[in-house]
Amino acid sequence: MNSVKKELSYLYLIQISNFIIPLIIFPYMTHILGVSGMGKIGFAQTLYFLFAFFIDFGFNLSSAKNISLNLENKKLVDQIYSNIQVFKTIIFSIVLIIIIFIMSIFNFTNLDKQIILIACICSFGSVLIPNFLFNGLSRNSTLAIISFITRILLLIPVFLYVKGIDDILVAILCIIGNNIITGFLVQLYLLKFKYTNFKFSYLNFGICKNEIREAFDNYSASFFTLGFTYLIPLVVKYSLGDYALGIYTMVDKLIAIFRQLYIPVIQSFFSKACIAYKNDLNLYLSYIKQICLIFIFLGMSALIGNILIGKEILSLIFGNIEDLSKYLSLAIITQIIISIAIILVNFYIIPSERSYILKRVYFIAFLFFIPIVYLCQKYFNLDGIYYSMQIIEFFITLFFVLYLYFNRSDFKVLKNNGDKEGL
């Protein structure tokens, strides 16, 4: 328990520090680039996250679990790491080739081509940064510190060189380019402290196949969430225009600050909860209660705070941008709903090795989301985008709650197994 509290404390210290960066940089960029310019920033980040999603391939949870359960077997940890890194490099190469081919046959503007290429190259940071390894080793605070340092350093060129809309590419490089720098620093860190070793001799088809198979359930499930996550900015851009995308991007940046508050909780408890689920039901339930209380406090504090003083604070930071506080409240409500699903997926579905149901749930949700977002956007404009996300996330979360209810007998089995082991 002390190790969890220590890791959680370090991660929250970094996350609180990370709040300062967006609050400094995005108001400045909004004034310099304008709302439509922020739409371009959002377009670049959407592409980056999309490319990174394909490269990560769901390893961040499944392989983190496998590493956490085999910490005493360093050779196996090294084998898992080596095989995954090679596979992720192959995916990046395929993505880069496809993007170059697409740009050669479609009539993009020069600026769009540059943005797409920058986003794709920067996504190599997903190869260099093995989140699954740090998550499995419960050393996410180390990764967070390195990332924080690079983000601070890249603030300097933003204020020095971003002076107008013509400097949009510099702004994009400073925002998403930190992942490449962080990745190289992380690799140097791993090389120096030898938490793991990459060796070509460790490449093993059986291990690689096993990791891919386990990750694929998470990956395929997440793939169907693209429609109501990473692709939403593209829907906003091509249905409502750059200005609406700028508003959406600004709200997304603000909600990302709020969303970061959940990350240390997940990172600190994930590996411990996976182990406790198998070995100690009482400890596992204790973890879940702590997580629920933290999530409830975070969600309600953010929503009530925005309702009471959000409009005044946002006007002070960003200027008088109409309805920004209203859209932020809608986004916070969506995140509160999602937070319930986060608990159920990360701390029940995955530890119980039922990830295979996720792809089915998200596939059905995606099919329903297409007509819902079309109708909501048509009749309610940007408000409709948020309404559609709330509707679909509510039904996804409701399914997970019902699934847990109808499988509550799992905990009786775990308790009985724990009692037998105690004897």
Does pLDDT of 418 surpass 60? no
Residues 382-402 have a mean pLDDT of 94
CB 126 within 8 A of CB 60: no
Percent of the chain at pLDDT > 70 equals: 91
How far is C-alpha 120 from the chain's CA centre?
A: 17
pLDDT band at 423 (very low <50, low <70, confident <90, very high): very low
Let me know: does 18 contact 178? Beta carbons within 8 Å: no
DSSP letter string, 292-355 = HHHHHHHHHHHHHHIIIIIHHHHHHHH-S-TTHHHHHHHHHHHHHHHHHHHHHIIIIITTTT-T
93 Cβ contact list (under 8 Å, min separation 6): none
Give the dihedral of Cα atoms 135, 141, 147, 152; nearest 10 deg.
Answer: 160
The predicted pLDDT at position 169 comes to 92
How far apart CA 30 and CA 36 sit, in angstroms, is 9
380-394 burial: b if 16+ Cβ within 10 Å, else e: eebebbbbbbbbbbb
Residue 198 is given by DSSP the state: -
Is the pTM of the predicted complex or chain greater than 0.85? no
Give the total number of structural domains in the chain.
1
Is residue 335 scored above 80 in pLDDT?
A: yes
pLDDT-based confidence at residue 15 (cuts at 50, 70, 90): low
Mean pLDDT, rounded, of the chain = 85
- Cα dihedral 182, 188, 192, 195 in deg (nearest 10): 60
Compute the average pLDDT of residues 128-145: 83
Within 10 angstroms of residue 160's Cβ, the number of other Cβ atoms is 10
- 313-318: Cβ within 8 A, 24+ apart: 314/254, 317/23, 317/27, 318/26, 318/27, 318/30, 318/250
Distance, in Å, from the CA atom of 292 to the CA atom of 218, rounded to the nearest integer, reads: 22
Residue 399 is predicted with a pLDDT of 93
**What tens digit of pLDDT does each residue of 108-124 get?**
888 889 999 999 999 99
The answer to whether residue 305 scores a pLDDT higher than 70 is yes
Query: What letter does residue 226 receive in the DSSP assignment?
Result: G
Is the separation of the CB atoms in 261 and 11 below 8 Å? no
Give CA–CA dist 301/262, Å, rounded.
Answer: 13
pLDDT of residue 10 exceeding 70 = no
The residues near 209 (Cβ < 8 Å, ≥ 6 apart) are none
pLDDT above 70 (res 12): no
Q: Is 194 left (phi over 0), alpha (psi -120 to 50) or beta?
A: left
Q: Which of 225, 244, 240, 255 is nearest to 369 (CA)?
A: 225
Q: What would the pLDDT profile of 21-31 be if each residue is shown by its tens digit?
A: 766 788 888 88
Q: Given the structure tokens 């879940």, which residue do they identify?
A: 288
Helix, strand and coil percent figures for the chain, each rounded to 5: 85, 0, 15
Residue 218 has pLDDT above 90, yes or no: no
Assign 220 a pLDDT band (cuts: 50, 70, 90).
Answer: confident
Angle at the Cα of 392 from the Cα atoms of 390 and 398, rounded to 5 degrees: 95
Q: What is the pLDDT of residue 231?
A: 79
Q: How far apart are CA 293 and CA 381, in angstroms?
A: 35
| pLDDT at res. 412 | 62
Percent of the chain with pLDDT over 90: 34
User: What is the span of the domain harbouring residue 278?
Assistant: 2-422
Mean pLDDT calculated for residue range 371-397:
93
- Split at pLDDT 50, 70, 90, the class of 137 is confident
